[in-house]
Amino acid sequence: MPTQPGVAPSVVCKLIRPFSLQLCLMFLAFPLSAQNTALTIPRNLVQLVDESELIVQGTVTNVSLERHEQLSNLMTVLVTLKVEDSLKGASTTVYTFRQAAIDGRDQQQLLGYRAGQHVLLLLIRPSAYGLSSPAGMQQGRFALRTLPDKSSEAVNGFGNGGLFRGIEAQLAARGVQMRPEVSAMISQTKPGPAPLKELKSLIRSIAIPKRAQ
């Protein structure tokens, strides 16, 4: 249905036939970025951390496809993590979140989650319908890998492309002090895995409330 510029989504819902109302509510239930990764706006690490309510490192222990209890036409993926480290938000040992899965392929692949995955997730605040997702979708979801020297590296769904773009000025404005290893990490201009230790150190520095910096 065509709409006039500036018409609020709530008004559009009232104009849609009753059988489409549930679909309209579904799209109002969570951010646009949670509906299609192709629509995701590129974000750097500072933006991803600021957008997140909870940042955790852990192992995926269970993944299941479930129909949303309130929005019956919406399929969701329920992900449970065994938390190893909390970088932002309340500390917890187990955390479960529900993410919308609109595309049929995403439903079949459970949005790419699987038991045993070692991940670092920057998760946004759940919506009124209990839906969450990584900030910036694949940008806020890092796969972790252990290297032969026992250190670990992290790479997000965008290959870390643009992850550190323009953050020097943002960090300076916040008074964030960086160790040489962290400075070396963010100076890299090519996409690729980042050392997990330095990445987590930087995330923790960014996550400190501005008034406390």
**Beta sheet of 194-195, edge-to-edge order:** 94-100, 75-88, 54-67, 118-123, 141-146, 152-156, 194-195
Q: What is the pLDDT of residues 17-31, one digit of tens each?
A: 443 444 444 443 444
Minimum mean pLDDT range among 32-41, 48-57, 89-98, 102-111: 32-41
Q: What is the pLDDT of residues 124-159, one digit of tens each?
A: 999 999 999 999 999 999 999 999 999 999 999 999
Class of residue 17 by CB neighbours under 10 A (exposed 0-12, middle 13-18, buried 19+) = exposed
Minimum mean pLDDT range among 48-62, 100-114, 139-153, 197-211: 197-211
- E-strand ranges in the chain read 54-67, 75-88, 94-100, 118-123, 141-146, 152-156, 194-195
Model confidence at 212: pLDDT above 70: no
Residue keyed to tokens 């008074």: 175
Residue keyed to tokens 């759940």: 126
Model confidence at 88: pLDDT above 70: yes
In the chain, where the domains are located: 9-38, 45-63+81-94+116-208
Q: What is the pLDDT of residues 40-68, one digit of tens each?
A: 799 999 999 999 999 999 999 999 999 99
